[in-house]
């Protein structure tokens, strides 16, 4: 049994209400501050590359627990997508090229230059993020949704080469396609909420 003095020394999890308030405040400050100074290209570039300077863990601590129906949850998904593309652009480009075979319309909306290579997929994700600050936020989200749908299609097609249905790799590859599609649907909902002025 702990006495009250010992119990006071044990750190608990942070207050969920405080965590949510910090997440919303920082997300709104970032987006609104960026939008108010959208003509400052250097500021927009710094906001796009926020994870590069602050680290993914710092961003995760702020926004990772936020629902997708909120601005911080939306930002978390977009910065996480950018970080994945930044770390593995060749794989992302391969999956994207595969996905274009079946998702041409989504590919047109995403706006990746042809032929889609590592530099092209990296550029479009940066443009999506910069669109949060210097363009129409809903359109930026639409492009991210289309990009993810093409990637999900490409990931599912990539799994076709695995011959055994019970192969662990098949599960991981197809599960990744499902996760990409789920994220696309979450961002699509966020775009609809933004258009209805309900994405806080």
Closest CA relative to residue 173, chosen from 151, 196, 140, 146:
151
CA distance 26 to 57: 15
Confidence grade of residue 6 (pLDDT, cut at 50, 70, 90): low
pLDDT at position 99 is 93
Q: Which comes out higher in pLDDT, residue 195 or 163?
A: 195
pLDDT at position 77 is 94
pLDDT at position 3 is 57
pLDDT at position 150 is 95
pLDDT at position 142 is 96
pLDDT digits (tens, 9 = 90+) for 53-96: 999 899 999 999 999 999 999 999 999 999 999 999 999 999 99
| C-alpha distances out from residue 129 to 1, 45, 62, 98, 102, Å | 52, 9, 18, 24, 25
pLDDT over 90, % of the chain: 66
Which residues have CB under 8 Å from 10's CB, separation 6+? 2
Q: Would residue 121 count as lying in a domain?
A: yes
Based on the structure, what is the number of domains in the chain?
1
Q: Would residue 61 count as lying in a domain?
A: yes
Query: Is 169 a residue whose pLDDT tops 70?
Result: no
- Compute the average pLDDT of residues 6-27: 75
CB under 8 Å, gap of 24 or more: what pairs does 176-182 form? 177/152, 177/153, 178/152, 180/148, 180/149, 180/151, 180/152, 180/155, 181/148, 181/149, 181/152
Q: Would residue 7 count as lying in a domain?
A: no
pLDDT at position 161 is 53
Cis peptide before 115 (omega within 30 of 0): yes
Q: Would residue 12 count as lying in a domain?
A: no
Q: Would residue 28 count as lying in a domain?
A: yes
User: Which sign, positive or negative, has the C-alpha torsion 115, 154, 186, 13?
Assistant: negative
Query: Is 106 a residue whose pLDDT tops 80?
Result: yes
Query: Is 124 a residue whose pLDDT tops 60?
Result: yes
Angle 22-188-93 (CA atoms, 0-180°, nearest 5)? 100
Q: Would residue 80 count as lying in a domain?
A: yes
Range of the domain at 124: 17-195
pLDDT at position 184 is 96
pLDDT at position 67 is 96
Query: Is 200 a residue whose pLDDT tops 90?
Result: no
pLDDT at position 165 is 55
- Compute the average pLDDT of residues 160-189: 73
Q: Would residue 84 count as lying in a domain?
A: yes
Query: Is 174 a residue whose pLDDT tops 70?
Result: no
Q: Would residue 11 count as lying in a domain?
A: no
CA distance 69 to 91: 29
- Compute the average pLDDT of residues 163-180: 64
Which residues have CB under 8 Å from 163's CB, separation 6+? none
Which residues have CB under 8 Å from 120's CB, separation 6+? 93, 112, 113, 114
Closest CA relative to residue 191, chosen from 129, 146, 151, 137:
137
Which residues have CB under 8 Å from 190's CB, separation 6+? 68, 69, 73, 74, 141, 199
């Amino acid at each position: 049994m702990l006495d009250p003095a010992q119990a006071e020394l044990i750190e608990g999890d942070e207050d969920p209400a405080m965590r949510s308030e910090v997440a919303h405040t920082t997300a709104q400050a970032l987006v609104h501050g960026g939008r108010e100074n959208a003509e400052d290209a250097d500021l927009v570039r710094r906001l796009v590359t926020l994870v590069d300077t602050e680290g993914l863990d710092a961003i995760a601590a702020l926004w990772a627990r936020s629902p997708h129906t909120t601005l911080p949850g939306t930002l978390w998904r977009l910065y996480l997508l950018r970080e994945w593309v930044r770390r593995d652009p060749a794989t992302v480009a391969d999956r994207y090229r595969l996905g274009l075979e079946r998702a041409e319309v989504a590919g047109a909306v995403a706006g990746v230059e042809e032929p889609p290579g590592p530099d092209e997929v990296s550029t479009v994700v940066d443009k999506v993020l910069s669109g949060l600050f210097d363009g129409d936020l809903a359109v930026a989200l639409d492009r991210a949704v289309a990009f993810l749908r093409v990637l999900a299609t490409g990931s599912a097609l990539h799994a076709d080469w695995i011959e055994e249905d019970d192969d662990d790799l098949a599960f991981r590859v197809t599960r990744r396609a499902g996760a990409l599609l789920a994220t696309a649907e979450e961002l699509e909902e966020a775009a609809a909420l933004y258009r209805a002025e309900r994405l806080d």
